[in-house]
Chains A and B, each alone.
Chain A
Amino acid sequence: MRTNLKSREQFSKLSYGVYLLLVITLIAFLIASGSQGSAKGVLNVIRQAAPLGIVAIGQTLILLMGGIDLSVGSVMTLVNIVASSIMAGRNDNIGAAVVVCLLLSAMIGLINGLIIAKFQMPPFLITMAMGSIIEGIYFVYSKGSPNGSIASRFRVISDGWIGGTFPIAILVWLAFWGLVSFILYKTPYGKRYYFTGGNRRAAYLSGIHTFSLTVSAYVLCSLMAGIAGLMISAFIGVASMSVGTDYTLNSIAATVIGGTSFNGGIGTLEGTFPGVLIMAFLQSILTMLNISQAGKNISQGLIIIIMVAMNHYKQK
């Protein structure tokens, strides 16, 4: 019986540790908020985590496939600046802005993917360079001081509450989470992410087109970053030069906290979801406790190390 239990846990891909940690942070959050603690407070934190949640979905796909994308933060900022300038506060321009932003994101992903797959370049360096190039482009585009603003109707996707009780942003996040999970687990295409990330050579020798899979993964990831960029734009309502900066590393952190291996082939979206929430609650707790930015950075770093160590031990 004991061995049975052990083996069952061993074979499960999902790390239960991350849910345990989520419960702990949630309790800590409720304690820290004291008398103001409420369901609404919790939902509000989750609502604000939606952009990170969406970009982390893309990052999970990339890590599973055996890559990494360091350009997602820049894509988010670019989308924020472009969306603000196209919308210029007018509801009529929402459609055009969304289309342009998503096309831009997809194009960036396509370039990333093609360079990495075609020339067998290390994704770390290529996407880092791409991030830097995008930064340069939006500096030029905005001449250093971005203007325009997000149309009021569009802001509903991040600010709206259905009947005043449930945030729309969480629904958007859950919708994308469900959609990508379905693709990842229920289609041959999604399954091939695991094979390619787990052993690219064996995947290739099993007839998997690792080239097109790699390219499409970067396109998907970049699209997710674009969507997250739209979400964050809807949140802040204006253009900002640095809105996406933290999201690059935070999306990677949330993904690895959720149990996805840095070497590819191992990981789940059900792990990344609580990974994102843990980071979000941790941030709020520390803010509520008036802990400085330094303290936030240190505790976030510790959480990453602990979770990665746990996952590593489990995968041994």
Chain B
Amino acid sequence: MDKNIILAGKHLRKEFHGNVVLDDVTILCKKGVVLALVGENGAGKSTLMNIISGGLQPDGGEIEFEGKPVKFRNSHHALQMGIAFVHQEFSLFDDLTVGENIMLGSEPRRSCFTDSHALHRQAQKVLNELDYQIDVGRMGGGLTPAEQQITEIAKAWVTRPKVLILDEPTSSLSKVEVDKLFRFIGRVKESGVSVVLITHRMDEIFQVCDETIVLKDGVMTAVEPVGNVTKDDLISKMVGREVSNTFPQRCKSVPKDAYFELRNVSVGKRVQNISLRIPKGCVTGFGGLEGQGQRDLARAIFGIEPFTSGQVLIGGEEKSIRTPGAAMKAGIGFVPDDRKTEGLVLPLSIEENMSVLVLDRIARNGILSRKRVRAEAQKGVDRLRIKLSSLKQPVVDLSGGNQQKVVFSKWVTANPEILILDEPTRGVDVQSKLEIYTLIRELTSKGVCILLFSSDMLELIGMSDVIHVMYEGRISGSINGCEATEEALMSLSSGVSPTVKKEG
């Protein structure tokens, strides 16, 4: 047994509802070693980290801590053993100070009261170790994303972990801050702590990491010391699935004149100066890593959180779209990524959900007839072969795939000219996916302009006529759908290749 191994996860396996998300993955966290964990969205990185930090129980395999097998009851248990996981989503309390947030759970006490002075002094000390200045008296709610990230790391570090797991810690940090963080990681490593760094940025791996593990679809494709690999090696190991023929044939001719145009649009700092000319009747894909501004762009086009500057033109006419209602009037539809909270009214029936957008059209002289509502809903159901026992069934009872079909179909019912799809097939079974893809093609052949936002690279490549890749709020490159490869997309997504290919 290697004395240097602090934490080992061996032959780990995890399933969610019959989907294998991790299969026979072995991870070794060694003393004084920074391990990079890389892989596409959905490759199983977070699942793996959750398992070795007690957040999830594995369905197979075992975990050893300092050579002895352990079973973590929960993440708190793992934290007590010395495994700290800094999640990608922040979990700070808005109404506690930075100091209180950092010291949460390990507050110094004077008899039975919290010693506020000592608490803030200790928090300050931890921040000093990180070489980062935040006033410990400030409220958590007023922090910038970068400050939140640092506070989260401080909160993990204060427990003096033996294994420190960081999930994309650099995504909200500036260059200077990243350098500080890496120097901190260097010092931590010297002191014998094992660090696991999840990252999408290739440069960072070579800057700070010693070893890499590559995951692809829940399977380990490589474990290498960093010295032995190149960026291209890593990318090719992360991707490389076959583009199967699940995707219906793309249309032959793509019209050239723009129907929908964005001129220098921005949403705060999250979307910066994007200009696009999008023709009718084709699928325009938007890709990139999570949180690079795609979601904000999609939402701004639909008027949910409108653009802060720039112009939107539809059919050559400038439109001001500040609410979803206005977007719908302009002929825009939006299939949101979260069907349960944004797409459907769960307690209501399929019939009602299907007809919500077209009530005014169905009504005659302002009066609705059951028959016409039902006929419209039936058309929507037939369009995507939604499996149901009755149109009056509440949508909450449907499976995820069928729910997604209802959301999709309801928007098709509204006959939009421009249809935004945000992760239209997330959590949807293969058969339903295929049906949704076929419907997308049908729509484009009728001249509908589809904007496809997806984190599934194969979907983007299989469906899009043009793919725009976003990185830090900008379009880092555009690739023609027929020529796109996962490698090319991954490079643009990771900000590796600055060369912008002009769509041809």
Contact = CB atoms under 8 A, between A and B. Distances in A.
6 A-B pairs with least C-beta separation: A188-B359, A198-B345, A11-B392, A207-B328, A199-B345, A207-B325
23 contacts: A7-B393, A11-B349, A186-B367, A187-B363, A187-B366, A188-B359, A188-B362, A188-B363, A191-B352, A191-B356, A191-B368, A194-B345, A194-B348, A195-B345, A195-B348, A195-B356, A199-B341, A202-B341, A205-B324, A205-B336, A205-B343, A207-B328, A208-B325
B359 A198 contact: no
B359 A192 contact: yes
A191 B363 CA distance: 11
A237 interface: no
A265 interface: yes
A201 B348 contact: no
Interface in B383-418: 389-390, 392-394, 410
B304 interface: yes
Interface bracket on A:
20 to 34
B417 to A, nearest CB: 15
B349 A265 contact: no
A73 B201 CA distance: 63
A191 B356 CA distance: 8
B102 to A, nearest CB: 32
B360 interface: yes
Interface in A1-16: 7-8, 11-12
Interface string A259-293: 00100011000000000000000000000000000
B349 A187 contact: no
Contacts of A242: none
B346 interface: yes
A7 B394 CA distance: 11
A202 B343 contact: yes
Contacts of A12: 392
A261 B394 CA distance: 15
A203 B341 CA distance: 10
A206 interface: yes
A207 B345 contact: no
Interface string B330-342: 0000101000011
A205 B368 contact: no
B208 interface: no
Contacts of A191: 352, 356, 359, 368
A204 interface: yes
A186 B368 contact: yes
Q: How large is the interface on B (under 10, 10 to 19, 20 to 34, 35 or more residues)?
A: 20 to 34
A312 interface: no
Contact of B342 (A8, A192, A205, A315): A205
A195 to B, nearest CB: 5
B324 A202 contact: no
Interface string A163-191: 00000000000000000000001111001
A202 B334 CA distance: 11
Contacts of B327: 207
Interface string A196-233: 00110111111111000000000000000000000000
Contacts of B343: 202, 205
Contacts of A186: 367-368
B357 interface: yes
Contact of B390 (A11, A185, A195, A261): A11
Nearest to A185: B368
B166 interface: no
B150 to A, nearest CB: 32
Contacts of B302: 205
Contacts of B348: 194-195, 198, 265
Contact of A188 (B304, B368, B389): B368
Contacts of B346: 198-199
A201 B390 contact: no
Contacts of B362: 188
Contact of A315 (B344, B347, B390, B392): B347
A206 B352 contact: no
B342 A201 contact: yes
Given A7-B393, A11-B349, A202-B343, 18 more contacts: A7-B390, A11-B393, A186-B367, A191-B359, A192-B359, A194-B345, A198-B345, A198-B346, A201-B342, A204-B324, A205-B324, A206-B356, A206-B410, A207-B324, A207-B325, A207-B328, A207-B357, A265-B348
A107 B251 CA distance: 58
A194 B349 CA distance: 11
Interface centre among A7, A12, A204, A207 (most CB of B within 10 A): A207
A188 B364 CA distance: 10
A201 B342 CA distance: 6
Given A195-B356, A205-B334, A206-B357, A265 B345 contact: yes
Contacts of A185: 368
B393 A201 contact: no
Contacts of A188: 359-360, 362-363, 366, 368
A188 to B, nearest CB: 4
Contacts of A204: 324
Contacts of B347: 198, 261, 265-266, 315
Nearest to B359: A188
Nearest to A261: B347
Contacts of A7: 389-390, 393
Contacts of B393: 7, 11
Contacts of B363: 187-188
B345 A203 contact: yes
A199 B328 CA distance: 19
Interface in A77-93: none
A205 B344 contact: no
Contacts of A205: 302, 304, 324, 334, 336, 342-343
A88 to B, nearest CB: 41
Interface in B127-169: none
A106 B60 CA distance: 65
Contacts of A209: 325
A188 B352 CA distance: 11
A7 B342 CA distance: 27
A159 B350 CA distance: 46
A136 B344 CA distance: 43
Nearest to A3: B389
